Amino acid sequence: MDFISKKQILHLAHLANLEISKDEIKSFKKHLAEVLNYFEKLKDLETYNIEPTSQTTGLMNVYRKDSVVSERVLKSEEAIYSAEKVYNGAFVANQVINKDL
């Protein structure tokens, strides 16, 4: 990988829900290509029979008692305390379903 196209950058930005400027497109093209190139060194290693590591503590199936601890529950006014747009005690989210459908 020695090249990453403007189209790929825009696709990634779309997937990541980011708006990026023209300057950023230019700099990300360069920086991402450099870093991805650096990642190529991993290809030197044979890892066919190696198990992947996703955690290091060795803990498995950690459960807690299935009960409500009331002091840990946020009241609705606490939950919406930091939201910029609130309506009738609820968050106002962006519309994600097209009205005409």
Contact 13, 20 (CB under 8 A): yes
Write down the least CB distance from residue 98 to another protein, Å.
19
| Dihedral sign computed on CA atoms, order 23, 25, 26, 31 | positive
Write down the least CB distance from residue 23 to another protein, Å.
9
> At which residue do the structure tokens 């990026």 appear?
20
* Positions that interact with another protein (CB under 8 A): 9, 12-13, 15-20, 24, 27-28, 31-32, 34-36, 38-39, 41-43, 45, 47, 50-57, 59, 62, 64, 74, 78-85, 91-94
